[in-house]
């Protein structure tokens, strides 16, 4: 388990961040000078005044602070938002994972991440149908749906296709041959636990989150994998397109968009295509055949 120091002269800020990291091995400090930094894997520093940022080594430091930090600080920064704790938690965890698993220590193996919206259930069925029960990698799915509907969707797909399909649970470890559907009305991201396993995090959406589950959030979180395949299926809007640049900048990544031929609504795939980062444009059933042939490898 990671050893985390939370440092702030504000007791409120210390306790606020501590609650977001419930279950982790955390020590609280009110004075930065009392922290023996070599004893901690992560240092989360939440200054309230113009306190010095250079007290701690940048490679293990996350600064949580309103607005802009010291202009000389080029490290990891999370905006302090009391009214949006789920967003603060998500960004802290994204930074924690980056500290330990970039770039050489990425998660070994691969993952398939799928995003869909209007018309998604039928396209998901077409994509998953060709996959064998022994599919080599896990699949994570963000389908725009309200709460409870995703549980029904996962159950129905599980009865139709060979691969196992289920609604995802918080802190569940990802396993090959299983497709995990993000719970409707929540945000799902992939993180790394102390044993270096990929685990699911389910959080409440932020007040400004347009989509929940968000394809962008899910796609950004799988960038830690050694290789990844991102699939954008039918739907309105452009969710998912904003994460493609980060995927391409990480390690091996292949991006597939559903063609207009089978998409009920071409918005999400088309927005991805317009980024110029899409590698394949295929009808939904051919996406499944492509994945089955490749075994989840780019």
Angle at 104 between CA 63 and CA 138, to 5 degrees: 95
Round to whole Å and give the CA distance between 201 and 190.
6
- Is 97 tagged catalytic? no
* C-alpha atoms less than 13 angstroms from C-alpha of 7 in its C-beta half-sphere: 24
> Which positions ≥6 away from 177 have C-beta within 8 Å?
133, 134, 135, 136, 138, 163, 164
Residue 144 among the catalytic residues: yes
Which of these is catalytic: 77, 144, 201, 212? 144
**Set 86, 117, 123, 259: catalytic member:** 117
Local structure of residue 9 (DSSP, 8 states): S
- 221 belongs to the catalytic site: no
Residues 6+ apart with CB under 8 A from 145: 120, 153, 184
Which of 8, 201, 239, 251 is catalytic? The answer is: 239
Say how many CA atoms lie within 13 Å of 148 toward its Cβ: 0
Q: Which residues are registered as beta bridge partners of 188?
A: 202
Element at 228 (helix H, strand E): strand 225-232
3-class DSSP assignment, residue 103: coil
Closest to 167 measured CA to CA, from 137, 135, 200: 200
208: number of CA atoms within 13 Å, CB side?
Answer: 6
User: Is residue 217 a contact partner of residue 187, using CB atoms and an 8 Å limit?
Assistant: yes
Q: Report helix, strand or coil for 293.
A: helix
Catalytic residues, by residue number, are: 117, 144, 239
């Amino acid at each position: 388990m990671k050893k985390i120091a939370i440092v702030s002269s504000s007791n409120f800020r210390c306790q606020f961040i501590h609650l977001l990291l419930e279950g982790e091995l955390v020590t609280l400090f009110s004075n930065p000078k009392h922290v023996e930094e070599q004893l901690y894997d992560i240092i989360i520093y939440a200054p309230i005044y113009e306190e010095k940022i250079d007290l701690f080594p940048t490679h293990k430091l996350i600064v949580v602070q309103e607005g802009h930090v010291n202009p000389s600080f080029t490290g990891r920064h999370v905006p302090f938002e009391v009214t949006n704790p789920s967003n603060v938690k998500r960004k802290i965890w994204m930074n924690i994972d980056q500290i330990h698993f970039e770039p050489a220590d990425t998660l070994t193996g691969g993952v398939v991440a799928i995003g869909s919206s209007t018309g998604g259930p039928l396209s998901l069925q077409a994509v998953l149908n060709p996959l064998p029960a022994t599919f080599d990698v896990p699949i994570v799915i963000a389908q725009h749906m309200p709460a409870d509907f995703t549980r029904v969707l996962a159950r129905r797909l599980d009865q139709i296709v060979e691969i196992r399909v289920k609604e995802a649970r918080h802190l569940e470890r990802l396993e090959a041959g299983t497709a995990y559907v993000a719970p409707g009305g929540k945000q799902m991201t992939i993180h790394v636990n102390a044993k270096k396993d990929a685990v699911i995090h389910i959080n409440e959406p932020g007040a400004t989150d347009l989509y929940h589950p968000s394809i962008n959030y899910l796609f950004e979180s799988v960038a830690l994998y050694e290789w990844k395949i991102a699939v954008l299926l039918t739907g309105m809007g452009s969710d998912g397109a904003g994460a493609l640049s980060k995927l391409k900048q990480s390690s091996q990544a292949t991006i597939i968009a559903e063609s207009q031929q089978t998409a009920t609504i071409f918005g999400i795939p088309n927005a991805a295509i317009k980024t110029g980062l899409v590698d394949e444009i295929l009808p939904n059933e051919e996406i499944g055949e492509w994945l089955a042939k490749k075994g989840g490898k780019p």
